[in-house]
Structure 1
Amino acid sequence: MLALYGHPFSSYTWKALIALYANGTPFTFHSLDGENPDQAAAHDRVQQASPMGKFPLLVDGSREVFEATSIIEYLALHHPGPAPLLPADADEAVWTRMIDRVFDNYVMNAMQDSVDDAIRHGTVSAEVQGRVEERVTRAYRWIDAWLTGYAMSATISLIECAAAPALFYADWVVPIPDDCARLRTWRAHLLALPPVARCVEDARRFRHYFPLGAPDRD
């Protein structure tokens, strides 16, 4: 059986979990939450698997796959299910991968600068927050325009796997502005999808760890 190593509050762990849940793929989840009796062994496995020792990590027999996007690509290839994680058409797959990078690089990673500043200093400097707001808001507006040509549906692909956790957390740090109504509607739609809602609920008890303070919503 597949095994996934990660933390229930980790955005990139969510990204892999959403794909697994969407296809009903059997797997064992090894949670690095400090409560797992196998915590030490799980931690060592993750540390040794990749250059930076980060989760999520997927283990399939002798194969170890790290990086959430690569995990989803592996699942699409070796453990397919009803959810079309990647299009069969090669050109469409390139486009899907491109949008995946938008959410990881321009939303999640940009937002993370504020989180990292709060972890280091206990608060976020005006300079860092201003830079984060500028970058993330620019990404929001680009995505809002892109959504004019993207249908909202119950289908889970690599795009939804990337967008749901990125928008969930980014909106806590930089609220989606009123002029991005399509994006706000899509975020709510994503959070209502059963695989995403399951991640939200399973992570709820860890919200006190969010260094900026989790808002009383979602």
Structure 2
Amino acid sequence: MSLTLHFHPLASFCWKALVALYENDTPFTPNIVDLEDERSRAAFLKLWPLGKFPVLEDTARDRVVPESSIIIIEYLATHYPGRAALLPADPDTALRVRLADRFYDFYVHEPMQRVVADRLRPEDRRDAFGVEQARAQIRTSYAIIEHGMADRDWAAGSSFTMADCAAMPSLFYANKVEPFGKEHANVARYHDRLLARPSAVRVIEEAKPYFHMFPYNKG
């Protein structure tokens, strides 16, 4: 088995890569990185000095592939394709998928992470104004998704793609910090469809032992 994914089961961007791997039953070796363990952290930083999850290591091709979507998922689509075409072959459709992928990463996932990171700070170092800005960005994104999902099942059309791999962790965690509310029924239904995918079910089950570490965990 030439592929090893270096990740943590709770890390939201890692979920993206895991969903893609599980959608295609791509064989890989999981390596859970504990950044609080000196030896584990040192080994990971030697592999990828920026220390960001996830990282895919491919010994057969002597490649270290960082980042979850535009790099890892597209790398898998190119070199280890499976039954699910997570990045469509048609160029115009692929552009729509990439746009939706970036939307979820930049305008749902990242502001969600800013809210979570602030909760982890000491109380006297928290940024209430920055948190409200992030929450406002999430709410604006919900409104855009609500409109877009009125007439389709998946993020970029009728098929599950890389964009849905991005949407799954984004919406799962965002709903914990900024609940959808009744005005976002389409968002909620899309979220439920995502979480019903066998790949998503598997990712969540594997993360459950670590959920107590999430600051917005409600049991």
Structure 2 length-normalised TM: 0.89
Unaligned runs of 5+ in 1: none
Number of residue pairs aligned between Structure 1 and Structure 2: 212
What is the distance in 1 between the residues matched to 2:42 and 2:73? 23
Quote the sequence identity (%): 39
| 1:3-152 equivalences in 2 (<5 Å) | 3-33=4-34, 40=39, 43-61=41-59, 62-69=62-69, 70-122=71-123, 126-152=128-154
Cα 1:155–1:91 change in 2 (3 A) is: closer
Quick one: which amino acid aligns to residue 8 of structure 1? P
What is the distance in 2 between the residues matched to 1:189 and 1:215? 22
Are the equivalent residues in 1 in contact too, given 2:87–2:162 (CA < 8 A)? yes
What is the distance in 2 between the residues matched to 1:170 and 1:108? 7
Q: For 1:148, what is the secondary structure of its paired residue?
A: coil
Quick one: which amino acid aligns to residue 64 of structure 2? E
Cα 1:154–1:58 change in 2 (3 A) is: farther
Q: For 2:9, what is the secondary structure of its paired residue?
A: coil
What is the distance in 2 between the residues matched to 1:192 and 1:73? 24
Aligned to 1:193: 197
Q: For 1:175, what is the secondary structure of its paired residue?
A: coil
Quick one: which amino acid aligns to residue 134 of structure 2? V
RMSD of Structure 2 on Structure 1 (CA): 2.2
Cα 1:30–1:91 change in 2 (3 A) is: same
Cα displacement (A) at 1:44:
3.4
Cα displacement (A) at 1:187:
0.3
Q: For 1:65, what is the secondary structure of its paired residue?
A: strand
Are the equivalent residues in 1 in contact too, given 2:16–2:169 (CA < 8 A)? yes
Cα 1:46–1:33 change in 2 (3 A) is: closer
Q: For 1:3, what is the secondary structure of its paired residue?
A: strand
Unaligned runs of 5+ in 2: none
Are the equivalent residues in 1 in contact too, given 2:33–2:44 (CA < 8 A)? no
Cα displacement (A) at 1:128:
3.4
Q: Which consecutive aligned stretches of 4+ in structure 1 deviate over 6 angstroms post-superposition?
A: none
Cα displacement (A) at 1:130:
2.1
Cα displacement (A) at 1:10:
0.7
What is the distance in 2 between the residues matched to 1:122 and 1:35? 22
